[in-house]
Structures are given as structure tokens and as C-alpha cells.
Amino acid sequence: MRCPECGYEESKVIDSRSADEGSAIRRRRECLRCQNRFTTYERLGERPLIVLKSDGSHEAFDRQKLFRGLLIACAKRPVDPDRIDAIITDIESSLRMSGTAEVHSKDLGEMVLARLAGIDDVAYIRFASVYKDFKDAEEFSSALKGLE
């Protein structure tokens, strides 16, 4: 698991517990390089959600990528990483509950914005100003970095 702060590949697990009624394992990890702590979820036997990108390609929904994008949008803002994690969990649960296996990246962006709106105005504007054009979360992260 790559550290969302520094990108280092090695981390240690400091806590594991089951989540979503046993369908996932939530792990708290600590980066072995920068000691940043972050949360990962490992889904057990679920079909992956597919994100359809604006260029017509698709990829598996990736919590970590979305988390990194949101972390950058919320940089230096009073938004706790656990709050970001909760936003993503909420989006993922909504998608799964809706029974859909696919989501357009644009709709995913809208879902994020709808949740950011009530949390932090600056993070909302940062996200809104670039999400329209982003093809995937990596590209979005780079665009946001350019705004800092």
C-alpha cells in the first residue's frame, strides 16, 4: 500500500478490524518512511466498481486514488483524513446500494462535490475547478497540485 503522503510503498499495519458487517477489512497503517498514518479497506469477494472515464476507457474504482485527490483538495484545510475517508466510504456504499457496477467519472466527481459542499468551501472550489476536465484521479491530483 502506497503512502498517500510521500508515495513510499512500505507500511506497517497498526490496527485491523472488520468493517461493513464483515465484507471488508479496515486497516490503519503507518508509513515506514514518513510515519504518516492512513486507512485502507480491503474488500472481500466483491465485484469491483468500474469507473468510466471521459475518454471512453475504464478502470476499477480505486479508493486510494480518490483519497489522494481529496487529500490534496483539502490540503491545509481543517478537514480530518478520517472525514475524507468517510466521504469515500459513503460514495462507495451509495454506488453499491444502487446496484450499479459502473459510474462515470463525471458523476463520481459530482458525488464528491455534493459531500464536500457541506464540509469545506475552499476544498469544494479546488475540487470543482478541476474535476470537470479530469480523466482519472491521477490526472486530477496533478491538476490540483498545480493550484497550490
Positions in the binding site for Zn ion (CB under 5 A): 3, 5-6, 8, 31, 33-34, 36
> Of 8 and 41, which has the nearer Cβ to Zn ion?
8
Q: What is the CA radius of gyration of the chain?
A: 15
What one-letter code names the amino acid at 47? R
Minimal distance in Å, beta carbon 32 to Zn ion? 8
> Of 33 and 104, which has the nearer Cβ to Zn ion?
33
Minimal distance in Å, beta carbon 141 to Zn ion? 15
The answer to whether residues 130 and 124 touch, using CB atoms and an 8 Å cutoff, is: no
d(CA 113, CA 18): 28
d(CA 14, CA 32): 12
> Of 70 and 130, which has the nearer Cβ to Zn ion?
70
> Of 13 and 34, which has the nearer Cβ to Zn ion?
34
Minimal distance in Å, beta carbon 63 to Zn ion? 17
d(CA 72, CA 44): 28
The values of phi and psi at residue 36, to 5°, are: -60, 140
Minimal distance in Å, beta carbon 125 to Zn ion? 27
